[in-house]
Amino acid sequence: MPLKKLALTLLLWFVIVLSQAQYFTLSGVVLDEQNKPLPGCHVHCKERCHITNFNGEFAHNKVSSGEVKLTFSFIGYQQLDTIVNMDENVMLKIKLQPENKLLNEVYIKSNAINTHKTQKNEVVNATYIEQNLSGTLLKTMERLSGVNSMDIGANASKPIIRGMGFQRVVVSENGVKQEGQQWGADHGLEIDAFSIETAEVVKGASAIELGSDAIGGYINISNNSVPEKNAVSGDVTLLTKSVNATYGGSFFIKGRSEKKFFKLRVSALDFGDYKVPTDQIVYLTREMPVYNGKLKNTAGNEQDFSIQVGHLGVRFKSTLQLSSVNQKSGFFPGAHGVPDIKRIQDDGDSRNIGFPYQKAHHLKVLNQNKWFVNNGNISVDLGFQNNVREEWSEFHTHYPDQPVPEINPNQEFDFNLKTYSANAKLTKKINDYHKLSSGFQVQHKDNDVGGYNFLLPKYQSTSLGVFVRDEINLTDHLNFNVGIRFDHSSVKTNEYFDPILYDYFISEGEDAEGANNYALRSVDLSKHYGDVSWLLGLVYTPSENFIARMNLGKAFRTPTAVELASNGIHHGSFRHEMGDENLKSEKGYYIDGNLEWISRGFSLEFSPYMYYFSNYLFLKPSGDWSLLPHAGQIYRYSQSEAILSGVELSITKNWFNQLGSTFIFEYIYNQQVSSDKTQRYPLPFTPPVNGFIEFDYSRFKQGKVVKDSRVYINSRIALAQNRVSQNEEITDGYVLLGIGVSTKINFLNQECTVNIQGSNLLNTKYYNHVSFYRKVEIPEPGRNIQLLLKVPF
């Protein structure tokens, strides 16, 4: 055999040497892992870039003889580099493998994993989200080990990864960081869930390319795939849910000529008060009835719009995207501040939104450009985001003498955040061993405030990050990742003097100096922070079935204006939240591992991790009483040494080639580190030990009318969370049951998707330890049956 090979090689070489400088045609077809053609795939050949047609085909004429280097890339697939010797017309058949493990597959082929990244990423696609959509997008993603959803009622949620949330998790859309009021517990993600094509989740610190905030991890939502050439298509999606009588839908149309494409989406949702499996809520010893099993004033609506236009050049791709998300939803009034039965009387209407409620608008303009150069690419993203979040509550004065505002008298808070960002990145394969990426990110934020209440001041902040990362391909089995990033940020807050509060303290008998001190809610502040993050990672793949990853690094996060300068009562609680201008950057060292065993019909993944923070930043009760009316204790943004560790386990198994199964487990342990034993509290908002089990069957006969059917039954389990921080409630464990069916039905020659899903089927009364309503003793939503129908055209 070796002799034969050698002879062949020699012969080939001989032919090459002999061949003249001629022109040949290089053509081929690109297929996906199921041997289906991949339209829209980028094929880089020398200085040019082709895009495969509807049948996955490409052709490159006039190729001179000799070696030609080809690169095939397609979103969600592993890039493939190959060298072809051109001595005649060549016809290639290229098969791309998915870059990531798609979760709805029971098993995957061992070579389908990106072995170059030292951090494991998991990607879910639109089909997966549609099939499993449970409540909110993040609720759907809870079935990934290590991801938890912090819910605000039935229709809003935000992510927690490895026990870290708020500013410690970056959510981005097409790679550009989403900026809202992510520090607050009562606001969800302002992203149209219908618009998501893929969502990528990375657990663990991902600061190098995403900025220092991504200490816990990140979620990148993409919706910028290129439509098929010379075609116009689209779909209509309809969604209805029983738990809060949701009616919603989305209309989508996309089209492309040779080089230009567009996408347009309009979505709307309207929902009523959600059902809770209880007839009474007991908050602060007050018993509050729940009329008709529905939580009063939790109705809401959402209207979203987005448009994308793009240009595809030979070596250049550019898109311009404009999106607008508008949400309005009510808060349960009975526990908004002092519990009050009078505010929760049934008004016979479960779809109206009375006080208190919140409104959020998110406007985004993104311009993304990518140039394909020799062995690499350059991308430049420009973005503008305007996030307006308003809280409306009946004008209840906190001080007897506060005059009623003339304009919008019931607007309690109005946060208006403008974010300008510019990112640039160069990725280049230097040689067979090094792939270098380098770039910078600039961001400027301008936050304005309004409303009759005061929580945080006006602020402006500017940040700059510069990074270099090298992927070192040492051997076929061993890869290293080395990265370093420097961030600098500056925060300016504006002085705010509260004359009404001054008068209040004077009337209470305080002297002028004391009253002045209290009434100065914020001061002019100018702070600068800078620090370095670094990462050392390795991937070891000794065999086709086994993969081991390990990362060691340092991450940091600069204090935000909220943490430096807030000073007020966040409604719905009696906490007087107070910033501290002397806070230092939060610094953490981390080590994490990921072991993966994959064989046909079975996969196992084990991920332990550990962080050490020299000064973890969180809101801590101070023991001092606030002098503000309606307030209890002062909670100060404080820093403490802390450790945070945990393990995640994920197993998939296919039984007898028939039944698929998934098991997920997560355990988090964290603690403040102190020489004083009485101060070793756990960190707040830590999810309990939790797990998820699912069995599914999809081996149905493929019919002409009905195909790709799948049925599943699952259970989400959480143990009690007994390790709580001060003033957190111990939360009992729970077991929830869910079932679902998804199928495709051929109707008028269109393949319609139908998904029916039931969650919390036993209508279990349970509390989510990390949810917004946990502290006011409101259980999570009850049984939900939902139907999603998607009709393409």
Partner 1 sequence: MKKLFYIIPVLALLSFVSCSDEDDIDTTKPAISIISPADEDGFEPGDEISFSCMFSDDTELASYKIEIHSNFDGHDHEHTAVMKQAFEEEGHEWSYSKTYTFETGQTVVNVEDLKIQIPATITHEGVEEEVAEGDYHFGVHVADVAGNETSVFVAIEIGHHHL
**Least spacing, CB of residue 615 vs partner 1, in Å:** 14
Would you count residue 349 as binding partner 1 (CB under 8 A)?
A: no
Q: 491 or 642, CB closer to partner 1?
A: 642
Range in contact with partner 1 (rule: CB under 8 A) among 78-86, 104-112, 282-290, 414-422? 282-290
Query: Please, what is the minimum distance in Å from the beta carbon of residue 313 to partner 1?
Result: 45
What amino acid is encoded at 65 in this protein? S
Closest CA to 532 of 512, 556, 559: 556
Shortest distance, CB of residue 338 to partner 1, whole angstroms?
5
Closer to partner 1 by CB, 452 or 712: give it: 452
Residue window 675-694: x/- pattern of binding to partner 1, with contact defined by CB under 8 A? --xxxxx-------------
Scanning residues 376 to 395, which ones bind partner 1 (CB under 8 A)?
Answer: 394-395
Interaction of residue 643 with partner 1, rule CB under 8 A: yes
DSSP symbols for 507-531: HTT--HHHHHHHHEEE--EEEEEEE
Of 193 and 668, nearer to partner 1 (C-beta) is: 668
Asked if 286 interacts with partner 1 (CB under 8 A), we say: yes
Task: Report the nearest approach of partner 1 to the CB of residue 587 (Å).
Answer: 11
Pick the closest to residue 591 from 613, 609, 612, 615 (CA basis): 609
**Which positions from 168 through 187 interact with partner 1, judged by CB under 8 A?**
none
615 binds partner 1 (CB under 8 A): no
Write the binding mask 303 to 342 for partner 1: x where contact by CB under 8 A, - elsewhere.
-----------------------------------xxx-x
Q: How far is the CB of 286 from partner 1 (least distance, A)?
A: 7
Among the listed residues 154, 728, 769, 778, the single contact to partner 1 using CB under 8 A: 728
Smallest gap, in angstroms, from Cβ of residue 333 to partner 1? 8
Residue range at the interface with partner 1 (CB under 8 A); choices 205-213, 542-550, 620-628, 762-770: 620-628
Long-range contacts of 764-768 (CB under 8 A, 24+ apart): 764/277, 764/734, 764/735, 764/736, 764/737, 765/276, 765/277, 765/278, 766/718, 766/732, 766/734, 766/736, 767/729, 767/731, 767/732, 767/734, 768/149, 768/150, 768/151, 768/731
Residues 137-166 that bind partner 1 (CB under 8 A): none
Asked whether the beta carbons of 492 and 128 are under 8 A apart, the reply is no
- Under the binding rule (CB under 8 A), the answer on residue 671 touching partner 1 is yes
Alpha-carbon span 39 to 54, nearest angstrom: 5
Tokens read off for 322 = 């404009």
Q: Is 669 helix (H, G, I), strand (E, B) or coil?
A: strand
Strand segments, DSSP code E, in 656-689 are: 659-672
How far apart are CB 406 and partner 1 at their closest, in Å? 10
Supply 647's token pair. 């393990």
Segment lying near partner 1 (by CB under 8 A), choices 226-234, 316-324, 367-375, 719-727: 719-727
700 binds partner 1 (CB under 8 A): no
Find the binder of partner 1 among 19, 121, 367, 410 (CB under 8 A).
410
Pick from 1, 3, 17, 404: which binds partner 1 (CB under 8 A)? Answer: 404
Of 254, 274, 276, which is closest to residue 265 (Cα–Cα)? 254
Interface with partner 1 includes 285 (CB under 8 A)?
yes
What residues contact residue 70 under an 8 Å CB cut-off, 6+ apart? 26, 43, 44, 45, 81, 82, 83, 84, 92
Task: Identify the residue among 54, 625, 700, 793 touching partner 1 (CB under 8 A).
Answer: 625
Choices 47-55, 237-245, 436-444, 668-676 (CB under 8 A): range interacting with partner 1 = 668-676
- The CA dihedral of 599, 600, 602, 603, to the nearest 10 degrees, is 40
* Rg of the chain, C-alpha, whole Å: 28
Count of beta carbons in the 10 Å neighbourhood of residue 656 = 6
Whether 42 contacts 76, CB under 8 Å: no
Going by their DSSP bridges, the two strands 478-493 and 459-473 should be labelled as antiparallel
Under rule CB under 8 A, which residues in 566-605 are in contact with partner 1?
A: 574, 589, 591
We find the least distance from the C-beta atom of residue 339 to partner 1, in angstroms, to be 7
- How wide is the angle at C-alpha 116 spanned by C-alphas 110 and 122, nearest 5°? 65
Rounded CA separation 597/545 (Å): 6
Residue 287 binds partner 1 (CB under 8 A): no
Task: Please give the residues from 12 up to 51 whose contact with partner 1 meets the rule CB under 8 A.
Answer: none
* Binding site residues, partner 1, CB under 8 A: 284-286, 338-340, 342-343, 347, 354-355, 394-397, 399-401, 404, 409-410, 507-508, 554, 574, 589, 591, 610, 612, 620-623, 625, 627, 629-630, 632-633, 643, 645, 669, 671, 673, 677-681, 723-728, 730
